[in-house]
Amino acid sequence: MDGTLYRGNTLFEVTRPFLERLHSLGIGCTFLTNNPSKSVTDYLAHLERLGINADRSQIHTSTQATIEYLCAQWPAVQRLFVLGTPSMANELAAAGFELLPDDPQAVPDAVLVGFDMTLTYPRLCRAAWWIAQGRPWFATNPDRVCPTDQPTVLVDCGSICAALATATGSSPLAVMGKPDPNMLEGILRRHKLAPHQLAMVGDRLYTDIEMARRAGALGVLVLTGETTPRDAAVASPAPDLVVQDVGELGSLLEEAHARHQG
């Protein structure tokens, strides 16, 4: 979303016309994000503030992808020690997981690390302790930093994981979020789609476009975010399609629809 439909709290002028064009063409869309720090409810409120109307079925986050992964691949994992925001913790609890306190007597089945903007040093150390004791651990997303328009660096999940890996000598067993193709599984299943029927639209080559390539979906790169035209020109493998913004993509879709109708 950020860098593709808006930047920070600023909606791109082309975004609402693009979404309206998708609707008129009968093309569905899902708002996808690697950022697990906000719940689906939080994202719906954020989109509403920007003037975008969406419903819960249109939001898919790395927290949801992680829940689906753990339920499918690690059904015995019920008790979690979590490094994550209250919003992320609430979504995990609502999915049926028991979230454990910072207590050496409360033994978790696994450790889960997210983009925790409420992180404290004692909880970081407790996570390292459980990992060092052989508890399996997982991460919601690989991002090292989170994009921001503020004068700071937002240390993201990947960097927190790097600290834990250095302290324990152990790497997470799975890292959800882009570019892991499992991030798209929930969307494909929800809408009964095959990968080739899905276009992944994003501004990052190494997450958005790489995930599309791994999943067998169409990778559409927009130049409104992180990737520069030069980066796009030398990318290997190249994106399936490069557009200036989602407005240009909307025009191409409308042209293709008109040709098909004709």
Residue 216 belongs to some domain of the structure:
yes
Residue 41 belongs to some domain of the structure:
no
For tokens 């059904």, the residue is 75
Q: What mean pLDDT comes out for the span 132-144? A: 96
pTM, rounded to two decimals: 0.90
Structural domain ending residue among the three candidates 175, 207, 242? 175
Whether residue 14 is predicted with pLDDT greater than 80 in this model: the reply is: yes
Number of domains in the chain: 2
32 exposed, middle or buried (CB, 10 Å; 0-12, 13-18, 19+)?
buried
The predicted pLDDT at position 226 comes to 87
Whether residue 120 is predicted with pLDDT greater than 90 in this model: the reply is: yes
Are 169 and 73 in the same domain? yes
241-243: strand order across its sheet: 199-202, 218-222, 241-243
> For the segment 149-186, what is each residue's pLDDT rounded down to a tens digit?
789 999 999 999 999 999 999 999 999 999 999 999 88
User: Exposed e or buried b for every residue in 63-72, given b needs 16+ CB within 10 A?
Assistant: bbbbbbbbee
Q: Specify whether the CB–CB gap between 210 and 177 falls below 8 A.
A: no
The predicted pLDDT at position 6 comes to 92
pLDDT band at 78 (very low <50, low <70, confident <90, very high): very high
Q: Which helix (H) or strand (E) holds 241?
A: strand 241-243
Query: How do strand 59-61 and strand 110-113 relate by DSSP bridges?
Result: unpaired
Residue 114 belongs to some domain of the structure:
yes
The Cα–Cα gap between 208 and 239 comes to 10
> For the segment 17-54, what is each residue's pLDDT rounded down to a tens digit?
999 999 999 999 999 999 999 999 999 999 999 999 99
Are 75 and 167 in the same domain? yes
pLDDT band at 147 (very low <50, low <70, confident <90, very high): confident
Are 91 and 171 in the same domain? yes
Q: What mean pLDDT comes out for the span 89-116? A: 97
Are 194 and 152 in the same domain? no
Spell out the SS3 assignment of 123-150.
HHHHHHHHHHCCCCEEECCCCCEECCCC
Structural domain ending residue among the three candidates 175, 198, 232? 175
1 exposed, middle or buried (CB, 10 Å; 0-12, 13-18, 19+)?
buried
Residue 56 belongs to some domain of the structure:
no
Q: Which domain holds residue 235?
A: 6-34+181-261
Are 138 and 152 in the same domain? yes
Structural domain ending residue among the three candidates 158, 175, 192? 175
Residue 145 belongs to some domain of the structure:
yes
- Helix extents (H) in the chain: 15-25, 40-49, 62-73, 86-94, 121-132, 157-168, 185-191, 210-215, 229-234, 246-261
Are 98 and 155 in the same domain? yes
Residue 78 belongs to some domain of the structure:
yes
Q: Specify whether the CB–CB gap between 63 and 92 falls below 8 A.
A: yes
The predicted pLDDT at position 180 comes to 94
Are 198 and 120 in the same domain? no
The predicted pLDDT at position 8 comes to 80
Residue among 57, 29, 33 nearest 114 (CA): 33
pLDDT band at 75 (very low <50, low <70, confident <90, very high): very high
CATH code of residue 195: 3.40.50.1000
The predicted pLDDT at position 145 comes to 87
Are 158 and 114 in the same domain? yes
The predicted pLDDT at position 42 comes to 94
Are 167 and 189 in the same domain? no
Residue 60 belongs to some domain of the structure:
no
Residue 151 belongs to some domain of the structure:
yes
The predicted pLDDT at position 260 comes to 86
Whether residue 137 is predicted with pLDDT greater than 80 in this model: the reply is: yes
The predicted pLDDT at position 148 comes to 76
Are 124 and 162 in the same domain? yes
Q: Which two tokens stand for residue 177?
A: 């979020």
Q: Specify whether the CB–CB gap between 222 and 245 falls below 8 A.
A: yes
Are 84 and 134 in the same domain? yes
pLDDT band at 236 (very low <50, low <70, confident <90, very high): very high
pLDDT band at 261 (very low <50, low <70, confident <90, very high): confident
Which DSSP category does 158 fall into? H
Whether residue 62 is predicted with pLDDT greater than 90 in this model: the reply is: yes
Residue among 106, 28, 29, 97 nearest 63 (CA): 97
The predicted pLDDT at position 115 comes to 97
Are 150 and 191 in the same domain? no
- Helix extents (H) in 138-238: 157-168, 185-191, 210-215, 229-234
